[in-house]
Amino acid sequence: MSQTVMPSYGRADIAFETGDGPYLYASDGRKFLDFGSGVAVLSLGHKHPHLVEALIAQAGKVWHTSNLYNIPEQQRLADRLVANSFAETVFFCNSGAESVEASIKLIRKYHSANGNPERYRIISFAGSFHGRTLATISAGASDAHRAGFGPAVDGFDHVAFGNMNEVRAAITGETAGIMIEPVQGEGGIRPADPRFLMDLRALCDEEGLLLMFDEVQTGMGRTGKLWAYEWSGVKPDVMSSAKGLGGGFPIGACLATAEAAKGITAGTHGSTFGGNPLATAVANAVLDVMLEPGFLPHVVEMSKLLNAELKAVAQRHPSVIEEVRGAGLLLGMKCVVPNAELAAKAFEHGLLTVLAGDNVMRFLPPLIIDEAHVSEAIAILEECCGELEE
């Protein structure tokens, strides 16, 4: 294979031609149950009719105008995100890393606007992932992601996930904020203790720090509420969103309180594509579906079922699976065998999953799955575990 595409990814040797709901069809005729959702992106599955309609309708009007002009669909999306979250204001971009990057800049600018430019450092956590730009690999925990890319961006202090003593000890006169995933995704599907989030909130209030939640993976219904923070009742000052926000169309957002965003004035931050008419038309269509009264309860119901069934598989096969953990339809199986081995078996049997750190296999089905899809996935897993035990 010639490398006209840079070989930055380890890819499975398959290409998909069409998708439909939670299914993908490969060009060689194989059919797959997609419990990876393009890494938690396809919140409504493939080819959702309402999203297809919204995309086509907007494509026939105007695709892109830039942020030099008003964008009605963007304004409407911001109004709806604000109406359905802690936030009072939204900045739009195109990806998760950019939404985290915007959050970092906003946190620094807040303290600068308050006359404290020396407060720029952000506390983040072991096991975290925040994206692949220079600032976000510096914020994230992975040494491998930083290796060979020169000096890390200064201003990030890493402490143990869940350890209040370490957080307190890391605070200095230069600390600006704390950044955390309510459920660590790439790092291995580790939910934060709600008590820990409450303690972080109290500490931030005490010390004048901004609390930022990275909900790029946990947001937009993934855990059964629109935002994962709703489970703990702890509201952040700043939050990043992307992945599920556009249901497959690239879009990201940084949501904040008006106070936290007070340093972001005209000309201080920007994006050429951010929140363009096509992206925001599709994201509005995603919200149309998710804000329907029965949608999130269905996610909770399916997550309980999948969680219980995965746990039952784990119990039957302790030599293959150690434990099941996560929240909503963001579930991980910590494996005894190498996670890649189990995932490869599942792939052979027509089930797509995603790997995560800590030897975890991730289940991120579209939020529209029903009981039959859960049964189908469980039957495949059962077979895979049986084969691995032989």
Ligand X SMILES: *Cc1c(COP(=O)(O)O)cnc(C)c1O
Q: How far is the CB of 100 from ligand X (least distance, A)?
A: 5
Q: How far is the CB of 95 from ligand X (least distance, A)?
A: 4
Neighbouring C-beta atoms of residue 301, cutoff 10 Å: 14
Task: By CB under 6 A, tell whether 181 contacts ligand X.
Answer: yes
Instruction: Please count the residues of the chain.
Output: 390
Site for ligand X in 327-356 (CB under 6 A): none
Among 218, 180, 10, 24, residue whose Cα is nearest residue 103: 180
**Which of the ranges 91-99, 102-110, 192-200, 204-212 carries the binding residues for ligand X, by CB under 6 A?**
91-99
Among 81, 112, 369, residue whose Cα is nearest residue 220: 81
String marking each residue 189-228 x if it binds ligand X according to CB under 6 A:
-------------------------x-xx-----------
Structure tokens at 156: 């990030």
- The nearer residue to ligand X, 119 or 190, going by C-beta atoms, is 190
Q: Classify burial at 233, counting beta carbons within 10 Å of its beta carbon; exposed 0-12, middle 13-18, buried 19 or more.
A: exposed
Q: How far is the CB of 103 from ligand X (least distance, A)?
A: 10
Task: By CB under 6 A, tell whether 97 contacts ligand X.
Answer: yes
How many residues bind ligand X (CB under 6 A)? The answer is 15
For residue 183, give the H/E element and its range. strand 183-184
Sequence-distant (6+) residues with CB within 8 A of 279 are 92, 94, 246, 249, 250, 251, 273
Structure tokens at 275: 């929140």
- The nearer residue to ligand X, 81 or 180, going by C-beta atoms, is 180
For residue 265, give the H/E element and its range. none
**Interface with ligand X (CB under 6 A), residue from 38, 131, 162, 357:** 131
**Which of the ranges 151-159, 162-170, 181-189, 314-322 carries the binding residues for ligand X, by CB under 6 A?**
181-189
In this structure, are residues 182 and 197 in contact, taking their beta carbons and an 8 Å threshold? yes
Task: By CB under 6 A, tell whether 130 contacts ligand X.
Answer: yes
**Interface with ligand X (CB under 6 A), residue from 44, 90, 179, 242:** 242
- The nearer residue to ligand X, 39 or 379, going by C-beta atoms, is 39
By CB under 6 A, name the binding residues for ligand X: 95-97, 100, 129-131, 181, 185-186, 214, 216-217, 242-243
